[in-house]
Amino acid sequence: MDKNEHRICGYSSLLISLMVNSPKLLALRENGVMARYWHFNPFELLFQFAFNMIFCFLLFNINLRKGKGLSSYRERRKYYSYVTFNFVAFCVLLITGTVLQRLFFPALQLPRLIFSGAFFRLSFSAILTAIIIKIILLMRNSRSMTAENQQLKNAYLASELQLLKEQMNPHFLFNSLSSLSAIVRENPEQAQKYIRDMSAVFRYALVGSHTDLVPLADELTMLRSFAKLISMRLEDAFKLTINIPDVYLPVKIPHLSLQPLLENAVKHNAATTERPLQIAIEAKDNQLIFSNSLWEIPTPEASNGIGLANLNERFRIMMHQEIEISRSETYFIVKLPLKQ
């Protein structure tokens, strides 16, 4: 039994003992019905109260100790033996209580009345104790089912999160290699620098692949490296502005949360010197706000739909909140929830 169950058993034993022995107080009235059968004696009443508490507490212990006492028969579904040994325990305690009462208070009552009184008190106590034992067992089963459901839920979320990560990394790699291919054709010397920066980005992606949440500061460092790769290709047609207060830098967010947003902005928007692709990242009101200018191209690159849906699912699993997506005629905005 755990501490809460011990407390329940202790308080229940006290309450049951008070209930079955309180009628004895009626014997204080000299002309009352109880006074005809039982002479009030405070020491005898105290003995019966104490023995009743011990009786209840013993029944609780032998029936609720996991793997021990009579619980072992119930857990192994040997109900016949379980009921039989409970009955034997009841009889032994009944006889013990009767003998002790006759030994300590021999002249107060007739032996027959002592036995019948003890039988009534202990029988009623046993019934109430059995009800409370059943309630505690139901509470145990409920806690056990809740714990099992939580374990299954955690296992499901872990496997789902891993699947999302596995979907994201090939997507990231494919788009990076596509960009590299374009730069190699245009400027082989710049391609070498692109490879070095891309290696730094992939190092971050691979090292943190087993980490669910990372500081926002680390994500921004990686994003700046990734932005350099984009700048090599778009040059003056790409501008990134980051305005994050220091208080938000230690806040943790899902690993590789910002890279898909920047990647999607580049993929789905036209960028020219006259109309550059402008990216702004800021934090306020416990939200990280990612916005990009909207210059949609008529025929965007082929997309498998993983980007934003994947990101939203990861935030739902790890942050228990979903991202907010909105757009106007000139801007596309994604708001990521932050927990300080």
Spans of all domains in the chain: 3-149, 187-337
Res. 241 pLDDT band, cuts 50 70 90: very high
Give the span between the Cα atoms of 248 and 270, in whole angstroms.
31
Report the b/e string of 103-138 with b at 16+ CB within 10 A.
eebeebbeeeebbebbeebbeebbebbeebbeebee
Residues counted in the chain = 340
- Cβ(233)–Cβ(245) under 8 Å? no
- Per-residue pLDDT tens over the stretch 46-61: 888 899 899 888 888 8
Residue 190 has pLDDT above 80, yes or no: no
Res. 3 pLDDT band, cuts 50 70 90: confident
Res. 230 pLDDT band, cuts 50 70 90: confident
- Per-residue pLDDT tens over the stretch 192-225: 777 887 787 777 777 665 667 889 999 998 888 8
For residue 336, give the 3-state DSSP assignment. strand
Q: How many CA atoms lie within 13 A of 109 on its CB side?
A: 25
Give the span between the Cα atoms of 193 and 195, in whole angstroms.
5
Residue 301: how many CB atoms within 10 A of its CB?
10
Give the span between the Cα atoms of 275 and 312, in whole angstroms.
29
Check: pTM over 0.85? Answer yes or no.
no
Give the span between the Cα atoms of 133 and 138, in whole angstroms.
9
H, E, C per residue of 107-118:
CCCCHHHHHHHH
Q: What is the mean pLDDT of residues 231-245?
A: 87
Position of tokens 């994500």? 219
- Cβ(33)–Cβ(96) under 8 Å? no
Contacts of 58 (CB under 8 A, 6+ apart): 89, 93
The percentage of residues in the chain with a pLDDT greater than 90, rounded to a whole number, is 14
For residue 307, give the 3-state DSSP assignment. helix
First to last CA, the chain: 39
CA angle 288, 154, 336 (to 5 degrees): 5
- Per-residue pLDDT tens over the stretch 81-102: 888 888 888 899 888 888 888 8
CA angle 170, 171, 176 (to 5 degrees): 95
Q: What architecture does CATH give domain 187-337?
A: 2-Layer Sandwich (3.30)
- Cβ(150)–Cβ(289) under 8 Å? no
Helix residue ranges per DSSP H, the chain: 3-21, 33-37, 42-64, 71-75, 79-104, 111-186, 188-207, 216-234, 258-268, 307-318
Contacts of 307 (CB under 8 A, 6+ apart): 171, 260, 261, 263, 264
Residue 189 has pLDDT above 70, yes or no: yes
Give the span between the Cα atoms of 318 and 336, in whole angstroms.
12
- Per-residue pLDDT tens over the stretch 17-46: 888 877 766 555 656 555 555 566 778 788
What is the pLDDT at residue 305?
Answer: 52
